Structure 1
Amino acid sequence: MTTPTQQLSEQGVSIWLDDLSRQRITTGNLVDLIAHRNVVGVTTNPTIFANAVAHGDGYEQQVAELAAKGASADDAIFEITTTDVRNACEIFAPVYEATTGQDGRVSIEVSPDLAHDTQATIDQAAQLWSTVDRPNAFIKIPATKAGLPAITETIAAGISVNVTLIFSLARYAEVIDAYLTGLQKAQAAGHDLAQIHSVASFFVSRVDTEVDKRLAAIGTDAAAALKSKAGVANARLAYELYEKEFGSDRAKALLDAGATVQRPLWASTGVKDPSLPDTLYVTELVAPGTVNTMPEKTLEAVFDHGEIGGDAVTGAYADAHGVIDGLAAVGVDFDDVTQVLEDEGVEKFITSWHELQETVAQALTSAGGAR
């Protein structure tokens, strides 16, 4: 009897865990999730590392060594996080080989403080890539306006990229363009396009959180009927856009030259409204060639009671357009929603980054080093 996570994999959905810590690496937890939960990748972000370092075991020896060298908090963060990602890449290497580079991926994010600085993002992306030094790493770059040219230049340098914090279809179209432009530049520079991979992380649950707050304020029956429908609808329309853009002559020329598509990745798939099914953002977004990155709680819910049907996306475009049109009709400015979410997303990661800096600075001080 197959499990729901197996069924999800069979439908062409790659399951990635949205979490990483040294404990997961050293205890065999990651190996177990690969074997028993069909996990084929890992994503990280500043919040995840802040929690791992603040509450996890296993960092004491490295922190003490860094303190003895007089490392700054930022230098220590760089060493700690790249060590975790490199070691996780080693664990996922067999998956990477078995899927010819599509999965077995571990993502590490550039500092959120650089979200609005194109050149600094490009520079740190290259530094992270060379330091992790594993072909199955992904460098995460946020899809801010400043991030778009950084995505292009990083791809052009032959570095694989996970584009994060995408909320709107308009920005997603720009992300796809940035990827294709990067591939064209990489091709001109003589890079092997088959070695360059990318995913585009489209956020889901946060859309419902913001839209539902606005619908509740409107307070009409028509508004209430749209509750908790925006996130899935927006993601489904992202997949429609993905199909269109990667079916273009421009994309086909690159694919014929050995390039790979930039797969849509569903992020923020933990359900935040307790009145909703806890597997909602997994079961309603099943589509071939996608990634769903899940917090462990969501992963376990899917494994326990997820009902996985077939493709839940490509036949639902008309309904999805209807939801977005309905939001406009009741007075929800969806462009404003997605801009607010992008701004908040960057700020939340900056806050987590500063918390991580403070946690590491305190650990260095306790271990006898300078701040």
Structure 2
Amino acid sequence: MDMKAWLLNPFTREEINATVFHMNPLGSPSPDGFPAQFYQKHWEVVGDQVCSYALKFLNHGGLLNDVNDTYISLIPKVKSPTKVADYRPISLCNVLYKIVSKTIANRLKKILPQIIAPNQSAFVPERLITDNTMIFVPSRGLRQGDPLSPYLFILCAKALTSLLNQAEACGNLTPAPIGRGPITVNHLFFADDSLLFCRAKHEEIKCVLNILDLYEKGSGQITQQQILLLAGVQSTSSFQRYLGLPALVGKKKIASFHSLIDRTWTRVSNWRTKFLSAAGKEILLKAVLQAILTYAMGMFLLPVSITRKLNQILRKFWWGFNEDSSKIQWVKWKQLSGSKEMGGLGFGDLRCFNLALLSKQGWRILQNPTSLVAQVLKQKYFNKGDLLEAKFGQGLPLHGEAFMLA
């Protein structure tokens, strides 16, 4: 069955059931006041009415005005927001609306890997935000509470991909070469975060601006003014971060990752004055402090001095500390890091955790050799073999060396 015929099949009650029981029982509050847990626990009572309502819209169309109300929450993008642009609006939708949109999204996401270009790494199964960081080392807003909105967004962005690829095919745009092989990259997308590659020539800059203008008119999206000033862009050495990770990691690796220490210490310092039980400290240490480190550890092998300092901060938080001194540490941190079955508290060793996350990334590359990130890394660093056969001294980037050690 082709994609179109499969998408046009009537929706069924089984799809509605699967959607409801895969929802977060106690998600964000909505205007109607009923969380998903209400529908899940009382499905025998309300199930027929919910399915009838959802299937009527899904199979016959209509409007959802009666459940389309939302709460809007403003999430600050910066530490000290001063204007509206410093906030990101999040729409908190009613559960009935989510059931309808998530059912559509569940059907749609199964075909996304076949129709969305590999340059887009957001919201597509088997693609992660870290794919982009491995490839590149240097009128109504989006309803971000709506499960369907991300898929609609990347489907619209596919038009921009087509325009850029067409310009490259016509010779109007020169992509970034990857090593000496045939694979090139003219853009990388993660949702609305975009990197466009071309030569620093007036003709190519003008081509990019024309493409952005055409896409803006066709999609209704507004390109940031900073992007529209590309024609006057100057070379800069201050491009420090991309998608939240260091863009340039040279010989001063400790300086590149010192922000992890700063962020962790800031959290710990803010909690120092709170009266926390041992159970509360354990939850914060595992769910917050270690979570801060997970993203960076999944891409880079942190220097030993960084992990040592981070472990020191975690120890201080667990045992307690004053501004000038730490309290007595009655048990070695190595013992506390062990599993609870072995007498520890399951905090885990940061170095081992780092290697485990990197091994997971390496496994993804081995299991998905046709993905863009796998092809780029293979062409550039181990063209005649695979990741397991790559050797040091072949110009591997920091994350490549990390995969080898893992």
TM bin, normalised by shorter chain, reads under 0.3
The TM-score normalised by the length of structure 1 is 0.22
Larger Rg: 2
Query: Which structure has more RCO (C-alpha within 8 Å, separation ≥ 6)?
Result: 1
